Amino acid sequence: MITKIEHVNITVPNIDAAVSFLKIIAPDFKIKKDAKPLNDKRWMHIGNNDFYFALQESHIGTHPKKQHQTYVNYGINHIGLVVNNIDDIENKLIEAGYNKGIDTPKETFRKRIYYYDNAGFEWELVEYLSKNTEDRFLYE
């Protein structure tokens, strides 16, 4: 059972411009994480204690080989949903023949899986193992 939409991951041309817009429409949003790993593109989580937007900048001057390639083009990268019984859900997805996305590390306070639907959209499913809000935003 889905309990709520957790986040939407969007590739944007400029994170600061996106934040300016979001602060107008959602003034309660706070920056949860703002990072730029070495030799990689900047990303940010911004939201409140119930949901957030994962923003990612595309590489400047990138000309993607595929028109709808996630994490390169502007647009939605994946949709995150909070679920219960993630192991059961994953077994059903496998049985139905859906393609698995990226592997995720083992984390203390959550389980995550990524799968693609038939249209090619990537879905991240998250089951939280703690009710503590701070645990949800622990980046291990």
Tell me the CATH number at 92: 3.10.180.10
pLDDT at 61: 60
Residue closest to 101 by CA, chosen among 68, 132, 67, 78: 78
User: In this predicted structure, what is the pLDDT of residue 68?
Assistant: 59
Measured distance CA(74)–CA(59) in Å, rounded: 10
pLDDT of residue 54: 94
| Two tokens, residue 33 | 């994480």
Tens digits of per-residue pLDDT, 76-102?
Answer: 888 888 899 999 999 999 999 999 999
| Beta pairing, strands 52-57 & 2-12 | parallel
Amino acid at 34: D
Domain count within the chain: 1
Res 66: pLDDT: 59
Under-50 pLDDT residues of the chain:
none
For residue 114, the model assigns a pLDDT of: 94
Between CA 131 and CA 26 the distance in angstroms is 24
**Domain extent at residue 93:** 2-136
pLDDT digits (tens, 9 = 90+) for 18-29: 999 889 888 899
